[in-house]
Structure 1
Amino acid sequence: MRIAIAQLNYTIGAFENNKLKIMDAVQRAKADGADLVVFAEQSISGAPAYDLLNKVNFLDLCEEALVEIAACCDGISALVGLPVQEGRWTVSAAAFIQNRKIVGYITRKHILQRDDATFLYPGRGREFIQVAGRKIAVVVGEDIMHPDECSGCADAVINIGSSKYARQRIEKRYDFFAGMAYRLGTDVVFVNQVGANTDVIYDGSSAVFSAEGKPLALLAGFEEDYRVVELGGVHEPMEVPYQDKTRNVYRAIKLGLADFFRKNGYSRACLGLSGGIDSAVVAALAVEVLGAENVRVLLMPSQFSSDHSVEDAMQMVRTLGMQYDIVPITDIYRSVVDSMNPVFGEDTEFGVTEENIQARIRGVLLMALSNKFGHILLNTSNKSELALGWGTLYGDHTGMLSVIGDVYKSEVFDIARYINRNGEVIPENILLKAPSAELRPEQKDTDYLPPYDITDSVIYRMIEEGQSREEIINAGFDAEVVHKIYAMILRNEQKRKQFCPTLRVSTCPFGVLRVMPITSKYGF
């Protein structure tokens, strides 16, 4: 049996475009002599559609598109993912099309992802279809995580999914499907979405594994792909490629950034370029995705900015060819402080208030640039800063999209080195100098906490792995540091609540898979 796998990039609610993509793939599969063509979960609607899944008109438009798709499926069978209404509820389904008819729907039974739990309801689960004389078990989404429900002497198992990208998820997914195919003694086909919608990134990486647990086909990651596979045929042996973590995160962010602009009709971006590692990485990514002509940066030095930071930023500007402006903020800062002196009092010491004024001035200038010329302001904060509360509301937290807000500071350096793999884009001095907000004289991040490799290890254990303070201390970390970081994470939830959408690349992004109350005495 020949199965065509169509790994496509869909846009939420773009029914005409999604329909045409699917129909083009059907025609290609027919030309290739496929018996069955398979598309991802919720391919007609795009995902995640959230509350749109509860709108009757949205579901009706999905069904109308499906009818047109079915009409072109002469001489071929198809599995197409879409949300459908069952009674009062919406379920995620695979429509089975045969001889231009919609034969039936296989619906997802298990709703495990928090993104889906509020908007989708459980369906019936695995069902069997007959194609080219073969009995095929079809499962939708996370139902594949219950392999005991997929058995039943099938000739193959097909899973249509919408599995989001997260660090190291691709290799774990391959291991799961290889083991499942071997245990069930049958071929397993996985077809995933690819592309990004707002903050969610789908990596694609669709795959087919033989009954021996060997890969028969591994589709591309982070891009559209198409493959025809002969199940039960003779195949050349292939190896599962090594998944480089930094490269995959880099590719995921590029895909997320590109689709955010393309699908929302944006073309130009702006950001503040400080001479630090975070803004350097975001600028380099933006130029690679959008082109230097569409990226504009502001350099906003203050009396506390070092000369080398300004020069490092200018070196990046020259290397990448971005449009830039230098707007010193020292006079603006003094004007604000002088205006507030009657309120603060003449003898008030310099402190966090004065530091935040500088960050907020920069936020105002960046938003002014964005408003005046229609640029989308990219935020440059990283996950370590968000965890610790090292950011200023309405200052460096300003932006329409956070590019690296789900990337730890130590990983930002890894991405910078990857960007420089073919030559220096980010100046070496930016990679070597001690991180600093430069909001007071001689300020360094290590004035407050240990180096980021240690700090990030503690944060990672707390956030991604859910470890307690005691577990982390018992693993060998300094107790005082652990308690300090824990307290900082807890008391800065209100800042994260007001943060902009963040491209998701971790297993536990803030505000999505880690939702904490602002008002709470737990842990103190």
Structure 2
Amino acid sequence: MNFGFLKIAAAIPEIEVADCRHNTAEMEKLLREACQRGVSVIAFPELSVTGYTCGDLFGQPVLLAEAEKTFGELMERTADCPAVAVAGLPVAVDGRLYNAAAVFCRGKLLGIVPKTYLPNYNEYYEVRWFASGDELKTDTVTLCGQTVPVSSKLLFRSGEVCLGIELCEDLWVPVPPSSLQAVHGANVLVNLSASNEMVGKHDYLRDLVRQQSARTVSAYLYASAGCGESTTDVVFAGNGLIAENGVLLEEAERFVPGSRLVCCDIDIERLAALRRKTNTFAYAGPSPAFRSVAFDLPAYGRSYPLLRHYNPTPFVPSDDDGKHRRCEEIFDIQCTGLARRIRHTGARTAVIGISGGLDSTLALLVAVRTFDLLGLPRKRILGVTMPGFGTTDRTYDNAMGLMRALGVEIRETDIRAACLQHFADIGLEADDRSVTYENAQARERTQILMDLANRSGGMVVGTGDLSELALGWATYNGDHMSMYGVNCSIPKTLVRHLVGWIAATHADEATRPWLLDIIDTPISPELLPADERGDIAQRTEDLVGPYELHDFFLYHFMRFGVPPDKLFFIARHAFGERYAPETIKKWLVVFLRRFFAQQFKRSAMPDGPKVGSVSLSPRGDWRMPSDASAALWIAQAEAIRTDEP
């Protein structure tokens, strides 16, 4: 495998009903194509050797004999193909016929898994021809001259990969066999299906596959019958679906003639990390024992391209409808959290430092909506602007204009005189531009906010975001501190998007222009004096790196425990030519160094609402010693070769 990636495929052959020789020839073509593309696991539809719609022909010994013969020939002809394949055919065992999945690889039959749940309603009549796998009285069968295990309780293992197999209707019942298979270790669930099309059914099927992959924390490979099946009463469209942990990674275009192959890479390491993290995953109460069959995965190496999309902004949904729903939900969570804290503490005011930047803007918008929902006047929100040595006209004007447009109480306190006095008190030279110079300003601002909150019977609403917490890009006991941090679980890439969404969907004409200009303003703490043109001289991303890279690293590092070499690999895949390999490596090392070194700030972070699957609260999702060593991670990151393709 390549960083835990496994290439799998749903094969949809164009069949002829009851023409086993034609069908196995099409299956051979697809199997060979799959191996040429580096596929390790390939699934064919239910009863693909004969066709699903043979009806009472399943009772004909001629068809059953031909199915076994041609399937055996298929295995012989593909003995040079390294992929493990799962094909559907009728299999007779002890005088009864089973709708079965046959697992084979390199000419060797590995095992037979019969269908458990046989539909016998509406257009389905499977009980007329087949028996359920639960009715088996033996645990072996001889097929094509090979004696192998036969059971609905079989798992197929190769290292970290474990295949569980079910057939069509098995997925549609209240407790699918794949649920128990997953509890017993299956992480790649394969479904051989022959599900016909009806209006609205496809959407339900897609949700079913996605949800089962999520519930079982697995990859789900679904291959369904297509062209060539009988259209006497129903139509089959050729569904090929590949899902992983609730996300549909790839799907076939339906109603397309000809044989097709749908390929995608799944991430076995990611699934293993999620299962380890979810401590309730393996508990399912008493369940039947499973038998394991060993097989060898092909060793393709890294010569095949990664067939998988990685969103370069994983915290931001890629589709417009998803973005709108996500933003609305996040905004509601922030406002609900702040409202509860205000009611509980009896705070009369909310005090927020407004810089004209993204984070404080979002915090102010949350406060305004919260006060509106609580029926409190906006004038009880104290928006405090505190110009310092690096404040520019642009950010100052945006801060003042936004507060006026929102109708909050405006307080302005210039911190320069107080800071100069403080510098003199501690003996800091006038031309010193060290971290002390910067942090003193942040702490002076925080002191003003805290004291104003005390004086007005209120609470300081924090503005720091998740990206800053991850990198420690905050002044300890300065902007790092508040009484409730509404942005603490929102990364910088999402903050920008949220403010843009609010501007487009919630802001009035007086507020929108200020929000749009704030979005376009470079990110900066404005702690160093402006340049000769009066523009921002201190740009955060020049110092700590691009936030979109850091947010990408943070998401995959926290959510799935992705190691540095794999982080580098998937970042290159996600960002393409946007960043040179050397640049990605450079900022990855910075991310790791800062993430470990700055844990002490997160250990003392204020309360704030969790809004997504990644959070750094020391009381919830992330508990790490402040002095944990980063040596292992740094060593792996620094050893990355940037000259490899």
> TM-score by structure 1 length?
0.53
Counterparts of 2:208 and 2:457 in 1: how far apart (Å)? 41
Are 2:393 and 1:307 equivalent residues in the alignment?
Answer: yes
- Tell me the amino acid that sits aligned with residue 599 of structure 2: E
Aligned to 1:430: 518
* CA pair 409-178 structure 1, distance change in 2 beyond 3 A: closer
Counterparts of 1:172 and 1:403 in 2: how far apart (Å)? 35
* CA pair 371-176 structure 1, distance change in 2 beyond 3 A: farther
Are 2:585 and 1:479 equivalent residues in the alignment?
Answer: yes
Q: CA deviation at 1:378?
A: 0.4
Are 2:497 and 1:414 equivalent residues in the alignment?
Answer: yes
What SS is found at the alignment partner of 1:246? helix
What SS is found at the alignment partner of 1:378? strand
Counterparts of 1:300 and 1:178 in 2: how far apart (Å)? 48
Aligned to 1:110: none
Counterparts of 1:145 and 1:270 in 2: how far apart (Å)? 53
Q: CA deviation at 1:269?
A: 0.7
What SS is found at the alignment partner of 1:332? helix
- Is the CA contact (8 Å cut-off) linking 1:297 and 1:323 kept in structure 2? yes
Aligned to 1:253: 334
* CA pair 347-173 structure 1, distance change in 2 beyond 3 A: farther
- Tell me the amino acid that sits aligned with residue 370 of structure 1: A
What is the percent sequence identity of the aligned residues? 24
Corresponding residue to 1:494 among 591, 600, 608: 600
* CA pair 172-497 structure 1, distance change in 2 beyond 3 A: farther
Q: CA deviation at 1:262?
A: 2.5
Counterparts of 1:362 and 1:521 in 2: how far apart (Å)? 33
* CA pair 145-332 structure 1, distance change in 2 beyond 3 A: farther
Q: CA deviation at 1:389?
A: 0.6
* CA pair 414-145 structure 1, distance change in 2 beyond 3 A: farther
- Tell me the amino acid that sits aligned with residue 293 of structure 1: K
Larger Rg: 2
Are 2:367 and 1:286 equivalent residues in the alignment?
Answer: yes
Corresponding residue to 2:358 among 273, 277, 284: 277
- Is the CA contact (8 Å cut-off) linking 1:268 and 1:290 kept in structure 2? no
Q: CA deviation at 1:294?
A: 2.3
Counterparts of 1:462 and 1:388 in 2: how far apart (Å)? 13
- Tell me the amino acid that sits aligned with residue 437 of structure 1: P
Are 2:477 and 1:394 equivalent residues in the alignment?
Answer: yes
Q: Cα deviation per residue 1:322-368 (whole Å; 9 max; x = unaligned)?
A: 00111000000100001111xx5x48832111100000000110011
- Is the CA contact (8 Å cut-off) linking 1:267 and 1:290 kept in structure 2? no
Counterparts of 2:622 and 2:209 in 1: how far apart (Å)? 22
> TM-score by structure 2 length?
0.43
Superposition pairs of residues 332-343 of structure 1, within 5 angstroms: 332-341=418-427
Are 2:465 and 1:382 equivalent residues in the alignment?
Answer: yes
- Tell me the amino acid that sits aligned with residue 175 of structure 1: Q
What SS is found at the alignment partner of 1:496? helix
Deviates more, 1:420-429 or 1:248-257: 420-429
Q: Cα deviation per residue 1:393-445 (whole Å; 9 max; x = unaligned)?
A: 11101211110111000100111012112444452110001100001131011
Counterparts of 2:211 and 2:380 in 1: how far apart (Å)? 41
Are 2:211 and 1:175 equivalent residues in the alignment?
Answer: yes
- Is the CA contact (8 Å cut-off) linking 1:257 and 1:289 kept in structure 2? yes
Counterparts of 1:427 and 1:403 in 2: how far apart (Å)? 18
Q: CA deviation at 1:265?
A: 3.2
What SS is found at the alignment partner of 1:297? strand
Counterparts of 2:614 and 2:396 in 1: how far apart (Å)? 35
Are 2:628 and 1:520 equivalent residues in the alignment?
Answer: yes
- Tell me the amino acid that sits aligned with residue 542 of structure 2: D
Corresponding residue to 2:405 among 319, 322, 325: 319
Aligned to 1:462: 557
- Is the CA contact (8 Å cut-off) linking 1:382 and 1:404 kept in structure 2? yes
- Tell me the amino acid that sits aligned with residue 516 of structure 1: M
- Is the CA contact (8 Å cut-off) linking 2:499 and 2:515 kept in structure 1? no
Q: Cα deviation per residue 1:69-115 (whole Å; 9 max; x = unaligned)?
A: xxxxxxxxxxxxxxxxxxxxxxxxxxxxxxxxxxxxxxxxxxxxxxx
Q: CA deviation at 1:485?
A: 0.6
Are 2:570 and 1:446 equivalent residues in the alignment?
Answer: no
Q: CA deviation at 1:173?
A: 13
Counterparts of 1:411 and 1:470 in 2: how far apart (Å)? 26
Counterparts of 1:173 and 1:369 in 2: how far apart (Å)? 54
Q: Cα deviation per residue 1:11-33 (whole Å; 9 max; x = unaligned)?
A: xxxxxxxxxxxxxxxxxxxxxxx
Contiguous gaps of at least 5 residues in structure 1: 1-136, 138-143, 149-170, 181-240
Q: Cα deviation per residue 1:217-258 (whole Å; 9 max; x = unaligned)?
A: xxxxxxxxxxxxxxxxxxxxxxxx968222221222122222
What SS is found at the alignment partner of 2:352? strand
What SS is found at the alignment partner of 2:544? coil
- Is the CA contact (8 Å cut-off) linking 1:312 and 1:430 kept in structure 2? yes
Counterparts of 1:271 and 1:415 in 2: how far apart (Å)? 18
- Is the CA contact (8 Å cut-off) linking 1:276 and 1:309 kept in structure 2? yes
Aligned to 2:245: none
* CA pair 172-479 structure 1, distance change in 2 beyond 3 A: farther
Contiguous gaps of at least 5 residues in structure 2: 1-173, 184-206, 217-320, 373-377, 530-536, 573-580, 635-645
- Tell me the amino acid that sits aligned with residue 526 of structure 2: E
Counterparts of 1:516 and 1:178 in 2: how far apart (Å)? 28
How many residue pairs get aligned? The number is: 300
Q: Cα deviation per residue 1:2-53 (whole Å; 9 max; x = unaligned)?
A: xxxxxxxxxxxxxxxxxxxxxxxxxxxxxxxxxxxxxxxxxxxxxxxxxxxx
- Tell me the amino acid that sits aligned with residue 504 of structure 2: R
